[in-house]
Chains A and B, each alone.
Chain A
């Protein structure tokens, strides 16, 4: 069973590495959005420190969502997805592998880029640490929940805009606690523990439920 998981994961990563621009575009989108805010709201340190956590998280939501369209679309167009559905392997596992690949390509790089963005917004070192931890726990949730939307909007015209309408409201809990943790980290580091625990709880529950829902959504979209 793990062999199936690995082979799908490996395949998706390999495909993405052959078309690196797709992956890089998402990351640069994140960087550009984050860099534009100081130009819009002014570059005072106090303002940036207040806005920073929220801006980083909203940019992360948008970047992760933009990449979602590609999660199933290419496989859907060339028929690979249909073949995956026809195999006797559990679809939930295949979907989970695809989501994992998506997170490794869009979520994890955001976590690694967080210190850079933190410096742009003059965040303190502990705050940057908490931001990385929160992103590490929160971005997989984004990929997991987003996969449901990606599966539902598979092959629809204007799917990208529709996807944002369906998925962004569901991202709110992650946004609230993710940004809240970073904001609080500047004031009192120990108080951020409950935030991270909640994010971890979201991660665990969505890890169980979201692949099931995505698999059901894929079955609905392709029949």
Chain B
């Protein structure tokens, strides 16, 4: 690892850096969400498809798809930080993993929630045991398990490492769980249920969808950095620099 990277692996140097990055990410998040939502509401067709037309309610995909993508991506990022923490024994990596988890859980919940509200008009039901829905629900349980284990252990070092191991085990199991739900009958796995490709999506819809996703991504950065700053201060409360920082911020 180069020295510049390892420099910011220390909580005391990362804390001010994160503080400077947070406003940037908030601006980026607000900007792309506004553009994406504007485009999604005013530049896209009001109706989709032929015989079984999707009316205005299809527009929930601008939130739904981004939230679902972020929920999965953030789990991978969380496991990445957890693994880095276990390998290099860096405290900040564990704090990052720990800070990502709530945002990931919120996006998972948002994806489930928005999906069921789309399902009501188009499928006629809020919930169906569709493989994607079920997988997303399981992902939600995995996030909750991670957060629950971490908060149940008082000793920060053990909590970090135990939750990290759990997250890695979860990531190993995710494909197996996904395929078992997707294909409960191994005799007929060839006919998997849904195939979708971004190429078939209308250009304007795709643009709005990708822009809101980018907004969600920037939002994840912003909230994760904010949370990691709080975690850093809580964990480092006994050090001089943290006490000075808290005093300086209280004065400002």
Contact = CB atoms under 8 A, between A and B. Distances in A.
B173 A170 contact: yes
B250 interface: no
Nearest to B153: A156
Interface residues of A, number: 33
Contact of B141 (A165, A177, A197, A209): A165
B180 A177 contact: yes
A148 B169 contact: yes
Nearest to A181: B186
Interface in B189-240: none
A79 interface: no
B180 A152 contact: no
A141 B177 CA distance: 14
A153 interface: yes
Contacts of A159: 152
A153 B169 contact: no
B84 interface: no
Contact of B170 (A170, A198, A223): A170
Contacts of B165: 148, 152, 213, 216-217, 220
A124 to B, nearest CB: 19
B141 A169 contact: yes
B145 A165 contact: yes
B7 interface: no
A130 to B, nearest CB: 14
B166 interface: yes
Q: Which of A158, A173, A180 has the most CB of B within 10 A?
A: A173
Interface residues of B, number: 27
A191 B187 CA distance: 7
A222 to B, nearest CB: 9
A162 interface: yes
A25 interface: no
A126 interface: no
B158 A177 contact: no
Contact of B177 (A166, A170, A197): A170
B82 to A, nearest CB: 12
Contacts of A198: 186
Contact of B162 (A158, A191, A217): A217
A172 B138 contact: yes
A172 B145 CA distance: 15
B252 interface: no
B186 A169 contact: no
Nearest to B137: A169
Interface in A203-223: 209, 213, 216-217, 220-221, 223
B71 to A, nearest CB: 15
A162 B152 contact: yes
B176 interface: yes
B61 interface: no
B181 A166 contact: no
A121 to B, nearest CB: 20
B185 interface: yes
Nearest to A173: B180
Contacts of A209: 172
A3 interface: no
Given A194-B186, A209-B172, A169 B142 contact: yes
Contacts of B166: 148-149, 152, 166
A41 to B, nearest CB: 18
Interface string B63-98: 000000000000000000000000000000000000
A18 interface: no
Given A162-B149, A165-B141, 4 more contacts: A148-B169, A156-B153, A177-B184, A220-B162
Across chains A and B, which 6 residue pairs bring their CB atoms closest together, nearest first? A194-B186, A173-B180, A220-B161, A176-B180, A169-B141, A166-B145
15 contacts: A152-B162, A152-B165, A158-B152, A159-B152, A165-B148, A166-B166, A169-B138, A169-B141, A170-B170, A172-B180, A173-B177, A173-B179, A176-B180, A191-B187, A198-B186
